Every structure is written in structure tokens, then in C-alpha cells.
């Protein structure tokens, strides 16, 4: 009997070929069992009949299951259907690991999410085990050992939650004068120290606000999905984007130690923020410097414009304008580049200063630009980098800055494309296309 069953399993392709009709059942029984033995032939027919109806039951349930809404956020169509914002889309897109049904970024994922437009190719997300987390704990440096290359050193041996992703993004846009404000937001009891519980308070606020927004956004989506159970689509996002921590992340271990008993002081918090800003800027700079101490003025312009929503012809216009005005530049060092990017973190204050010139109907020269930057940041930019900025944004070459356009484009750069809805998609893209075609006809 066992030998005949093995023969049936080995000939499973026969079942898939002939089992779609009752006439095929006799063929399966004949080719699988010895027809000279009526007992085995009848037994084979009975088994094949059972498998036939079992096959039909599987097919029916597969069709029903296919009609149900997807319970996992795994494709772009589902992401669009759930109306996620840019940060949620990007987190899901770049997250490469998963633990207990929740998605996490590695430090490498985070760096790529703020420096690259697309994640590195991968077949699927890596499912972490408790052993992996124990190894990550050993790899996480102490707070006193923090450095401007910490994320690159940890690489993929750590995890970052969605709420921590939002926190890290906010750090990249904070001026140094805002470091104290950020720390005080966490220091709820005002004792100049932040413990683990205080740090998690803002994460709970992030999660609550996000959950309320998703509840409103998904009410229509759930109603429009036939056969969907109440809250089924919401459950997907609650599982994939963290509401609460089921494990200590790399940041929690770094800030509060393996036992979670350490306190975070302001100077340590400030150093972490400075290191993170420096690390991201170093990665961007090194991408173009190729190991050299300076980048070209053209590379500097490319970095400034890479996160903006300029049309391709506008983008090329800025670069060609710079090449015409600085045919042979002397290059821009990392110190100059870092100073300018830190100035961009005070862009709102700079915009207020620029309004004074708007009210007086006065153009902005390089001298006034220097003065406004020093007032906002307390530091001075190098004359060469200011001259390069004017060469990029001075429309008619009269030595005056088109500061309204400069501020608008630099806001896109500062927020790395997250501040506004992309004008290259949907209805806005259609309207922009129509306007362009109408201008061309006129």
C-alpha cells in the first residue's frame, strides 16, 4: 500500500493534468495503480475522487481569498490605495528588516533614505530573530562613543522604528539654536535629563496622531472594499508601522544603555544631533568628491537641486548658467559645504530677514546676503560659496539674488522632498502639462 501511495505522489503532475474533469479521474487511477488488481484500482479511484473534490475546494477558496483585500502592505498599488503620506511610503519602501510583524529600518536604510532616491535592490525583507537582536545589542556603541560615522559603522546591525525615523528626519533640519528646544520637548519634568520613558512620550504622541489620521483616511477605503472586515486595512498599517516598541531599538540602546537605566544629558543629545547632521553631509559630499578634498561648483549645484521638484529643462538651465559663469572654478571644500547646509537649517529666519528688503523694494546683493546670514546663524559663509550661489540663482546676471526663488528651492532641498506634494504626479502633473502645452501653442 505504501509503495502505491509513493507512486501516486511521484505522479502528482498527472493529477494536475487530468483532475479538472470527472473523466480524468479514471485516467489518474489507471496510470497510478495497477489495473490488474481491482482492489488497488478501486482504491485509487476513491483517492483520486477525494483529491478531485479537494482540489475544487482549494480553487474555490483561493478565488475567495484573492477577492479579499490584501492584509500586508507589500506593493505600490496597496500603498496608493491607503493614501499614505510621503514619510510613511518612504519608510516602508526603504525598510529592509522585519521583527514580529513590524517593519524596521537599519542604520544603512536610514542613510540611503535621505541620500538616495531608491533603495538598493533586494529580493525580500530579512526576518530578524532574537539572536540577531542580541548581536545588534553588542554592536551598538555607548553614548560616550558616538561619532560622525556611527551609522556607517553599525551599517545593517541595528534597527530603527518608524517614529524614530521621524525623529531623525527632524534632526537633519534643526538649526543648532533649536537643539535646546528639541531636548526640552523630551525633558517633561524639567530636570535637565531625559530618561527612557520621557523619550518614548513623544513617540506615543506621533503614533496617536498618526492613528487618528489613518482612521479618518481609511474609513472610505474600508467601505469601498467588498467583503472587508471592519478595521482590516487599518490592521495592516498598525502591524507594519510601529505604534509601540516590542523591542529595544538601536537608538534606545545608544541613549539609555542595555538596561535602559541611563539618563540622556543635553550635551550628549546635542553631540548626537551634530554628529548625525555631519555624517549625512559627509556621505553626500563624498559621493561627488571621490576622495578629493573638494567638489566642483557644478557638483555643489547638483547637490542643492537634487531634492527639488524642478522640471528637467529648468534643472539643466541652472547647471548651464553656472557653467557659463564659472567655466573654471576653484572647488568647494567640505567645511564650506557644511557651513552652507547649516545655514539652510535657519532658512525660515533668513526668509524673515529677506522680507525687510521686499518691503523696501530693494534688490539683494552679496553684501546684504552675507549680513543676513550672519544675523541668522552667527557665522559667516565663505565669499566663494556665496558667489557660487549668486551665479546659480541670479537670473539676469546683474549681481542681485532672486531670493524668492532661492528660498522656495532651498526649502525643497532642506526637507529633502518631503515638504510638499510632488508636482510630478497626479492632477498637479496634468495641470502643469496642459499649461506648458498652452504656452507652447501661444
Question: Where do we find the cell 522585519?
Answer: 98
pTM of model > 0.75: no
Average pLDDT over the chain, rounded to an integer: 76
Assign 57 a pLDDT band (cuts: 50, 70, 90).
Answer: low
State pLDDT tens for residues 362-409.
678 898 898 889 888 888 999 999 999 999 998 888 888 877 778 888
Segment 3-32 mean pLDDT: 46
Assign 147 a pLDDT band (cuts: 50, 70, 90).
Answer: very high
pLDDT at 415: 77
Give whole-number Cα distances, 46 to 40, 57, 58, 277, in Å: 10, 17, 18, 71
pLDDT at 122: 85
Examine the pLDDT at 301 and tell me if it is beyond 70: yes
Classify domain 292-414 at the CATH class level: mainly alpha
Per-residue exposure over 392-418, b if at least 16 CB sit within 10 Å of its own CB, e if not: bbbeeeeebbbbeebbebbbbbbbbbe
Collect contacts of 208-212 with beta carbons under 8 A, ≥24 apart.
210/241, 211/238, 211/243
Range list of β-strands (E), 160-300:
193-194, 264-265, 294-295
Domain ranges of the chain: 2-67, 76-275, 292-414
CA 286 to CA 240: how far, in whole Å?
33
Assign 153 a pLDDT band (cuts: 50, 70, 90).
Answer: very high
Percent of the chain with pLDDT over 90: 37
Asked if residue 264 lies in contact with residue 208, where contact means CB atoms within 8 angstroms, the answer is no
Amino acid at each position: 500500500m505504501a509503495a502505491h501511495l509513493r507512486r501516486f505522489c511521484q505522479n502528482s503532475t498527472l493529477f494536475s493534468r487530468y483532475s479538472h474533469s470527472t473523466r480524468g479521474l479514471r485516467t489518474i487511477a489507471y496510470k497510478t495503480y495497477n489495473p490488474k488488481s481491482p482492489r488497488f484500482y478501486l482504491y485509487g479511484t476513491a483517492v483520486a475522487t477525494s483529491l478531485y473534490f479537494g482540489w475544487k475546494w482549494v480553487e474555490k477558496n483561493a478565488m475567495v481569498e484573492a477577492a479579499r483585500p490584501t492584509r500586508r502592505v507589500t506593493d505600490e498599488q496597496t500603498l496608493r490605495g491607503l493614501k499614505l503620506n510621503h514619510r510613511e511610503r518612504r519608510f516602508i519602501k526603504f525598510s529592509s528588516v522585519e521583527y514580529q510583524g513590524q517593519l524596521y529600518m537599519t542604520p544603512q536604510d536610514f542613510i540611503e533614505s535621505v541620500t538616495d532616491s531608491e533603495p538598493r535592490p533586494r529580493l525580500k525583507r530579512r526576518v530578524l530573530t532574537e539572536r540577531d537582536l542580541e548581536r545588534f545589542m553588542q554592536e551598538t556603541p555607548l553614548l560616550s562613543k558616538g561619532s560622525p560615522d556611527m551609522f556607517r559603522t553599525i551599517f545593517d546591525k541595528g534597527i530603527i522604528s518608524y517614529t524614530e525615523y521621524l525623529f531623525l528626519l527632524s534632526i537633519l533640519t534643526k538649526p543648532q539654536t533649536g537643539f535646546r528646544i528639541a531636548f526640552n520637548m523630551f525633558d517633561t519634568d524639567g530636570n535637565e535629563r531625559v530618561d527612557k520613558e520621557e523619550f518614548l512620550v513623544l513617540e506615543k504622541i506621533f503614533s496617536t496622531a498618526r492613528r487618528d489620521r489613518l482612521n479618518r483616511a481609511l474609513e472610505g477605503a474600508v467601505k469601498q472594499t467588498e467583503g472587508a472586515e471592519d478595521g482590516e486595512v487599518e490592521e495592516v498599517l498598525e502591524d507594519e508601522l510601529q505604534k509601540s516598541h516590542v523591542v529595544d531599538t538601536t537608538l534606545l540602546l545608544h541613549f539609555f544603555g542595555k538596561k535602559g537605566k541611563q539618563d540622556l544629558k543635553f550635551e550628549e543629545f546635542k553631540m548626537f544631533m551634530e554628529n548625525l547632521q555631519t555624517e549625512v553631509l559627509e556621505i553626500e559630499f563624498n559621493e561627488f568628491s571621490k576622495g578629493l578634498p573638494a567638489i566642483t561648483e557644478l557638483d555643489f549645484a547638483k547637490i542643492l537641486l537634487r531634492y527639488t521638484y524642478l522640471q528637467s529643462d529648468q534643472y539643466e538651465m541652472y547647471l548651464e548658467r553656472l557653467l557659463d559663469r564659472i567655466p573654471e572654478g576653484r572647488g568647494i571644500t567640505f567645511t564650506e559645504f557644511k557651513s552652507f547646509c547649516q545655514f539652510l537649517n535657519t532658512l525660515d529666519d533668513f526668509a524673515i530677514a529677506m522680507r525687510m528688503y521686499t518691503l523696501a523694494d530693494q534688490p539683494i546683493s552679496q553684501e546684504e546676503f552675507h549680513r543676513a546670514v550672519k544675523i541668522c546663524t552667527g557665522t559667516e559663509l565663505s565669499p566663494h560659496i556665496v558667489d557660487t550661489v549668486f551665479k546659480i540663482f541670479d537670473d539676469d546676471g546683474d549681481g542681485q539674488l532672486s531670493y524668492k526663488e532661492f528660498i522656495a528651492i532651498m526649502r525643497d532641498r532642506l526637507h529633502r522632498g518631503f515638504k510638499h506634494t510632488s508636482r510630478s504626479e497626479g492632477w498637479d502633473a496634468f495641470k502643469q502639462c496642459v499649461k506648458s502645452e498652452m504656452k507652447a501653442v501661444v
